[in-house]
Structure 1
Amino acid sequence: MYRELSEAEDEGRPVPVWLSDATKQAWGLDLSRQSSKGTILVRPLTRLNYNRASWEINKGCNFNCEHCYLAERKFAGLPRSGKDQLIALLRDAGVLWLQITGGEPTIDSDFRHAYEAAYRTGMMIEILTNGSRLHQPGMVELLTSMPPHKVKVSLYGATEESFDSLTRKPGAFKLLSKGLQAAKEAGISLELALIITKHNAHELEAMRAMAEEYATRYAEYTNISPTYDGTSEPLSAQAPGFLNKSSVFTGCPAGHTFFHVDPHGFVTMCKIGRENPISLMAEGLDGLLRLPAIADAQMLRTGGCSGCQLSGTCRVCRPLAKAYQAAEAPLESYCQHREGVTT
């Protein structure tokens, strides 16, 4: 089927019947009379099997959230030419789904340029944002002319008092509200991430109501984690009684089918497991061949978890557990077996 698509696009033949039938069923899009050339973007085959990546385009942020997992939020990263090179490397690694995050990605001066470049490679793009710049005309134009796969907006409260308190940014709630309204009026589909903390737990129903008004779907996040390098400051934002330990960690393909890239082009298995970063800019795609072994090494049990006989039902992944241990977090903040475990 890939070969058929590639030849049809190369020779300008009509879109294959099986594809036009699928697009009509999925999206109501009739391609039955269309030439494949200019209609289908056929990505070249790659020797790597990475289909997803997340990219911190910049760690800088216009908020100063109390619960942020980033140890530092310095405004720094690759120049525009470096971003172009990185996107080409992601394409050649096989990446079809790209999450652009930060910090706050939309404050990067090259965000629009990078978004357009990734979009033109055929990547499905997800933006993780605080929503503070969604109201700007340039942003509305970008997201309506080149629709993303998903825009996920973090919701930190339902009132100015709670929102601005957690973000430590006066006026943050007003910016968020303007962004939500602008997206709604422009028809931009949003997903809301409800971040439950001690500042807003009493407003949970109101936050859900906001999500119902502005989002096509939403999810609630109740567990606050340490910074990825194991400092405890974010844990102070945890809402008492809101720890969620409902799902068992059954493994993760991080480093094998997807990876994370920091603002300077260093690749790690994920946002949390950042040991032994690989410089994608210096090593190119060959550097990714080392990533699976690096990821596997970070999945080994350490600290008080090394001899645990109940590890098969852990509810946090190993890199995150290491961060909790490094932060000397209370055992009850991440281990459901705390009553029968000695550390």
Structure 2
Amino acid sequence: MVSEAEPAPRSAPPRLVASPFLGQYLLVQPGQAAGVRIPEARYEELLAGSDRPVPAWLADAAARAWSAELPEAALGDVVLVRERSQYGYAKASWEINLGCDYDCEFCYLGEKRFEGLDWDGKRRLLEVMRDAGVLWLQITGGEALIDREFGAAYEYAHQLGMMVQVSSNGSSLRKRPIRDLFARHRPYRLTLSVYGATADTYDKVTRNRGAFDRFTQGLDAAREDRLPVRLNVIVSDDNAHEVDAMVAMCERYGFPHQVFTNMSPTIDGEANPLATQSQSHLTPRSVFTGCNAGHTFFHANPHGIASICKVGRDPSVNLIAEGVEGLTRLGAIAESLQLRTGGCSGCTKVGTCRTCRPLAKLYQEAGDQRELYCQHGGYGS
């Protein structure tokens, strides 16, 4: 089922994208972090004028934001103007496939199967996301880069005017087809996980011989190609002795990094990942003050099933069967999932709780290790 990325047989994407975004209007360039906020009148001008020449204000904005010189061409050849969406979803994440070439004990996905939508289904899902208003899309896994249609999906997302972030373990980043793909269509961000600073530790954590060498070759390739990499240092009991060395490695490469020390139960409520935590490195979570999951953001699994986020997966909406209209139910689902039920109702510390209700539910299903998620259990109090 796994092969190299296969690019979609489509023309190059527009150089710029103009899009509604959470009640505002943005001008962005795929693969670049900078953006330009434009008035509604400018957006309307772009929306109505695909056959007109590039206006002077647009050329000036591109020069200031990206040092880009726009070609003398019809506006429609330079800018893709995305239509307004009545659904208001600005961001989404998508597990393109749960299959992975690593077998980390702490993986929150549990059983990682190679299964999901065929290409027609993937294309349909991306179009539904476009119609929902999604401008920022995170493609993840499993391991996203080893899905046989990752390249086609990644290119098509760019064709639809999305700013694409890819989350990966970096094992395939060294491969020429992937490097060529990211050269043609630069990702908005490339987030890679770090599991060790030496081959012995990294290969032990991932349970994949030679994984560390492939990972560092991928880092070398990303640095050479000047990709926008961010590194996530994942701390477990098997690699905790190398935390400082992992951070030092991130700094040597010059990539920004974050350190993650707390594991979560699997999406099915299994406790296996919790046993891998380095107890001496656990840190209290921030106070949960609410989020927009299900309202301006949603998550889709490999089968096109949409949920409010990666944690709160049930109830859900089948976007392939129902289309974009199914998303109208997500807001109510989000409100119901965030209710403090199942042992949390009437809690005297609810105002300073550090765990959202869907995550607390997973902990309870995993054996109610209250000290890991509840201040009444002692942790984080």
Residue correspondence of structure 1 range 124-203 to structure 2 within 5 A: 124-203=163-242
Residue 168 of structure 1 and its aligned partner are, at CA, apart by 1.5
Residue 203 of structure 1 and its aligned partner are, at CA, apart by 1.0
Distance 1:216 1:229, change over 3 A: same
Q: In 1, Cα distance between the equivalents of 2:118 and 2:71?
A: 43
* Alignment pair present for 1:13 and 2:53: yes
Residue correspondence of structure 1 range 256-271 to structure 2 within 5 A: 256-271=295-310
Residue 96 of structure 1 and its aligned partner are, at CA, apart by 0.4
Q: In 2, Cα distance between the equivalents of 1:60 and 1:273?
A: 21
Residue 27 of structure 1 and its aligned partner are, at CA, apart by 1.8
Residue 62 of structure 1 and its aligned partner are, at CA, apart by 0.5
Q: In 1, Cα distance between the equivalents of 2:379 and 2:278?
A: 24
TM-score by length of 2: 0.85
Structure 1 runs of 4+ aligned residues shifted over 6 Å read none
Question: Counterpart of 1:289?
Answer: 328
Structure 1: which 5+ residue stretches go unaligned?
A: none
* Alignment pair present for 1:2 and 2:65: no
Q: In 1, Cα distance between the equivalents of 2:375 and 2:260?
A: 17
Q: In 1, Cα distance between the equivalents of 2:185 and 2:55?
A: 22
Q: Structure 2 residue aligned with 1:314, among 338, 353, 368?
A: 353
Residue correspondence of structure 1 range 8-87 to structure 2 within 5 A: 8=49, 10-17=50-57, 19-31=58-70, 35-87=74-126
Q: Structure 1 residue aligned with 2:315, among 255, 276, 280?
A: 276
Residue 189 of structure 1 and its aligned partner are, at CA, apart by 2.3
Distance 1:340 1:158, change over 3 A: closer
Q: Structure 2 residue aligned with 1:224, among 253, 263, 266?
A: 263
Contact 2:172 2:214 in 1 (8 A): yes
TM-score by length of 1: 0.94
Contact 2:144 2:168 in 1 (8 A): yes
Q: In 1, Cα distance between the equivalents of 2:215 and 2:121?
A: 31
Superposed CA deviations along residues 71-128 of structure 1, whole A, max 9, x for unmatched, are 3211001011111111111111111000000100111100000000001111000101
Superposed CA deviations along residues 215-238 of structure 1, whole A, max 9, x for unmatched, are 531111111010122110011110
SS state at 2:93 partner? strand
Superposed CA deviations along residues 139-177 of structure 1, whole A, max 9, x for unmatched, are 000111100100000001111222122212222111111
* Alignment pair present for 1:248 and 2:281: no
* Alignment pair present for 1:118 and 2:162: no
The amino acid across from 1:5 in the alignment is L
Q: In 1, Cα distance between the equivalents of 2:172 and 2:288?
A: 35
Q: In 2, Cα distance between the equivalents of 1:162 and 1:306?
A: 43
Q: In 1, Cα distance between the equivalents of 2:362 and 2:65?
A: 42
Q: In 2, Cα distance between the equivalents of 1:146 and 1:214?
A: 22
The amino acid across from 1:336 in the alignment is Q
Distance 1:340 1:121, change over 3 A: closer
Question: Counterpart of 1:235?
Answer: 274
Q: In 1, Cα distance between the equivalents of 2:106 and 2:261?
A: 11
RMSD: 1.7
Contact 1:124 1:148 in 2 (8 A): yes
SS state at 1:302 partner? coil
Q: Which moved more, 1:231-240 or 1:169-178?
A: 169-178
Q: In 1, Cα distance between the equivalents of 2:73 and 2:371?
A: 59
SS state at 1:38 partner? helix
Residue 246 of structure 1 and its aligned partner are, at CA, apart by 4.8
Contact 1:189 1:215 in 2 (8 A): no
Q: In 2, Cα distance between the equivalents of 1:185 and 1:104?
A: 22
Contact 2:349 2:375 in 1 (8 A): no
Q: In 2, Cα distance between the equivalents of 1:14 and 1:204?
A: 51
Distance 1:281 1:238, change over 3 A: same
Residue 327 of structure 1 and its aligned partner are, at CA, apart by 0.4
Residue 265 of structure 1 and its aligned partner are, at CA, apart by 0.7
Contact 1:15 1:35 in 2 (8 A): no
The amino acid across from 1:262 in the alignment is N
Residue 286 of structure 1 and its aligned partner are, at CA, apart by 1.2
Q: In 2, Cα distance between the equivalents of 1:215 and 1:63?
A: 25
Structure 2: which 5+ residue stretches go unaligned?
A: 1-41
